[in-house]
Amino acid sequence: MSNKKTIIRFVVLVVLLVIAAAIVFRFFFAEPSPPTSKLDAPPQELDHEASAAITDETGENGVVVEKTIPKGSTFKDTLAKCFPHLSEAINTPKEFVDNWKSLNSTAEEEPDFIHYFFKDKNGQEVRAQIVYTTAEGRPIRELKIFRVLEDGLPDPVELPAPDRYNPNNTTLSKYIDFSTVFETQKKWSAKSPGSSSIEVEESNSDVTEFQLFQKNTIFRCHEGDCECKAGN
Amino acid sequence: MSFSILVALLTLSFSFSSQAEVWTATAKWSPEKEKEFSVWVQKNWGKDFFSKKENKDGSANIFQGLRVDCADTVYSSRVIFAYLHSLPFAMNDASGGKKLITNSMTRWDSKSEKEKIRNFLVYVYNMVSTKSMHNDTYPVKVSRETIVPGSIILTTEKNHHSWVIKNIFPTGIPHLVFNSTVGAYSGPLLQERKSWPNGDWVFEGNATPEGNAGVRYWRKESELKLPAWQVSGYSEEQYAIKPGKWKYDLQKTLQSTEESTQQTATRLIENICADIQQRIDAVKESETFLKSVGYRCMSEEEFDNYSTPSRDRRLADEIIYLRNFLKTLVQDRNELSLDQKTWQQLKIVFPNLTETIATESQNQKRTVTSSSSLCRAKHYSRGQGIDKSIDLAEVKRRLFTNRLSSNPNHPPEVRFGEDVNIKNSCPSWGNLKLSYVE
């Protein structure tokens, strides 16, 4: 009986030791897992005809797990509902936005933000954010710089105030290595003199999201998943 | 012996690994937890949240001394509740990264628990702004179920301001907690008001869903990467309301009992008094700063932080709102519904309701503060080195005769409209002229 007990204890001890060794190894010897960043990701290519990829869960350490859920409303179908006369000629959100711009050539693009993702001399990822805002009615451009640390998350870099507000090109070049920029994100909006306005988000000049408000109609898409809302 | 030591070692290893996070989320968000959040905000969120030394139960307030602006105040309510209730917290990375910022961050794993949460909050403060807030929240339907304590109000980018809804009174009036940029510099005390902000101001410049203004609520973690219009509960109902009617529609929908005219008058006066006191504090902060830099001219950024044109416009709006309320009472021959004292006090502030507010103020005599004055307060005079008394009637007279100055390079007495000649050659930015709609 006592022999049996000793054997069970021994087996339990061995199992626990293996677990302990694995934990110790993970904490003290294992290579840190590579940060999840744009650097590791393949270049983004949007397939607007494909089923929409929507985010519906978050994995370990907040990494977004993308899950493809079939959606009925692709760009072409939704465009046909909202603007049937355009559905033959226009195939992508980018073409739709370009078409709106050409029809509303007097509408001025109002930038919301521009993000530059680039690498510094040491190959470390850096993000520059130019935020367009207003202070007491006057427009202001604010520059923010973030170093991306090993955890894949940004770390704000403090900038002197004169460099931060309304930076000129020389100042921007001081902080942004434009030759190593691998992604540019941009958000802008525009209003036509009529009753049409558009808000657009772009990544490397491709349209990732837009919302068009025209009279009682709203036409919008996010990474290929679109919606047409037509009011009375 | 070896068995128990090993078990202890293993326990230690596991606890070591879990301590690496800012906090470990052992619970999950659910409709019940959202209700708990709402109750918690109602009971605990207040202007002294970051200034009090102790909590109600006598424990030390580990958040004491944190300095927050309006967006930080909003995010703090959600982060701190999640931390205190072992719930996960996640928000979008405003720098454009795909990864979420969560309580699982391990940057501060060598710090104590208190330092970890404080460092995480400061990190969040450095990342967020009113500009990023719409990505973590969504506009809600106008109903008692969806506009609750814990909801937030966001303005369009033009006015970049935000509030936490601490409570909704049975009368449909909210109790709001917020802070300003100057507030973040000045001290850990937050600000409060008991009224809806003016819809024309909240939606200024863009009253469509694109403007992201109005009452909003926190997104589920699983919906953070979706565009707002795909988030469950998303509603464009608020954008169908004319901005000028927005606050009245919200109040009407949310009220379960009518507010009496006396209650309305008392509340509006309270709000104005709080606004005047906040202006006095803001001007004091500006003066303290100027003193610390030897009264040199302010830089553009400093000027933005310490000037008060938006604050002055809000004060003007509140005073006009009270005056219009009074005008309606008189038109309806309902002034007797106010108590005699309040009516007499308001007659001193608004002596001629048939005129425009500007004409009324031009013809108004300077009032001397007395025991029956509304909103008695003291503002500082640099020239005389003393505090000077002022009341609502006098603030109103000076505000609508363009005597108040929102220029932070001016001495406090000039900012409060004392008749003092000053030479000011400092540069000025933006339009400081008071604009209002009667």
B232 touches chain A (CB under 8 A): no
For B384-417, letters b (16+ CB in 10 Å) and e give eeeeeebbbbbbbbbbbeebbbbbbbbbbbbbbb
Give the three-class secondary structure for B51: coil
Sorted by sequence, the CB contacts under 8 Å of residue B432 that are 6+ apart come out as: A136, B307, B309, B405, B406, B407
**Per-block mean pLDDT, blocks of 10 residues, chain B (438 long):** 50 50 97 98 95 93 94 97 98 96 96 96 96 97 98 94 97 94 69 92 92 97 95 96 96 94 95 94 92 94 88 93 95 90 96 97 94 94 94 97 95 93 86 84
Interval B304-320: pLDDT, tens: 889 999 889 989 999 99
Q: Helix, strand, coil % (nearest 5) of chain A?
A: 30, 35, 35
This model of the complex carries an ipTM of: 0.80
pLDDT at A16: 62
Instruction: With cut-offs at 50, 70 and 90, classify the pLDDT of residue A61.
Output: very low
Whole-structure pTM value: 0.79
Count other Cβ atoms within 10 Å, centred on residue A99: 14
pLDDT at A55: 33
CB–CB contact A151 B226 (8 Å)? no
Select from A76, A81, A73, A74 the least CA-distant residue to A230: A81
Instruction: With cut-offs at 50, 70 and 90, classify the pLDDT of residue A19.
Output: low
Mean pLDDT of A11-33: 50
B100 touches chain A (CB under 8 A): yes
Q: Pairing between strand A196-203 and A183-191?
A: antiparallel
Taking CB atoms and an 8 Å cutoff, what residues of chain B touch A55? Answer: 222-226
Select from A135, A145, A138, A143 the least CA-distant residue to A163: A143
pLDDT at A216: 84
pLDDT at B277: 93
Distance, in angstroms, between A115 CA and closest chain B CA? 7
Spatial separation of the C-alpha atoms in residues A198 and A176, rounded to whole Å: 29
Select from B208, B199, B214 the least CA-distant residue to B165: B214
- Report the residue of chain A nearest B224, measured CA to CA: A55
Query: What stretches of B257-352 show up as alpha helix (H) in DSSP?
Result: 261-292, 300-306, 309-331, 340-349
Spatial separation of the C-alpha atoms in residues B98 and A152, rounded to whole Å: 9
Taking CB atoms and an 8 Å cutoff, what residues of chain B touch A12? Answer: 3
B20 touches chain A (CB under 8 A): no
Count other Cβ atoms within 10 Å, centred on residue A91: 14
What number of CA atoms fall less than 13 Å from residue B294's CA on the CB side? 1
Taking CB atoms and an 8 Å cutoff, what residues of chain B touch A118? Answer: none
Interval A69-122: pLDDT, tens: 334 458 999 999 999 999 899 999 999 999 999 999 999 999 999 999 999 999
